[in-house]
Amino acid sequence: MANVLVTGGAGYIGSHACKVLAAAGFTPITYDNLSTGWQDAVKFGPFEQGDLLDRARIDEVFAQYAPVAVMHFAALSQVGESVSDPGLYWRNNVGGSLNLVEAASAAGCQNFVFSSTCATYGDQDGVTLSEDTDQHPINAYGASKRAVEDILRNFEQSHGMRHVIFRYFNVAGADPDGEVGEFHQPETHLIPLMLDAIDGKRDALTVYGTDYDTPDGTCIRDYVHVMDLVEAHVRGVQWLLDGHDPAVFNLGTGTGFSVRDVVDHSRSVTNKEVPIIEGARRAGDCTKLVSGSDRAVSELGWMPTRSTLEAMITDAWRWHQSGHYNK
Catalytically active residues, by annotation: 141
Contact 24, 43 (CB under 8 A): no
What is the sign, positive or negative, of the torsion defined by CA atoms of 13, 7, 74, 127? negative
Any idea what DSSP says for residue 178? S
DSSP 190-213: HHHHHHHHHTTSSS-EEEE-S-SS
Sheet holding 128-129, edge to edge: 128-129, 288-291, 220-221, 257-258
Any idea what DSSP says for residue 52? T
Q: Which of 139, 128, 131, 164 is nearest to 256 (CA)?
A: 128
Rg (CA), the chain: 19
> CB within 8 A of 56, min separation 6: which ones?
none
Query: What is the Cα–Cα distance from 235 to 55, expressed in whole angstroms?
Result: 28
Distance linking the first and last C-alpha atoms of the chain: 30
Sheet holding 47-49, edge to edge: 47-49, 27-32, 3-7, 69-72, 111-115, 162-167, 247-250
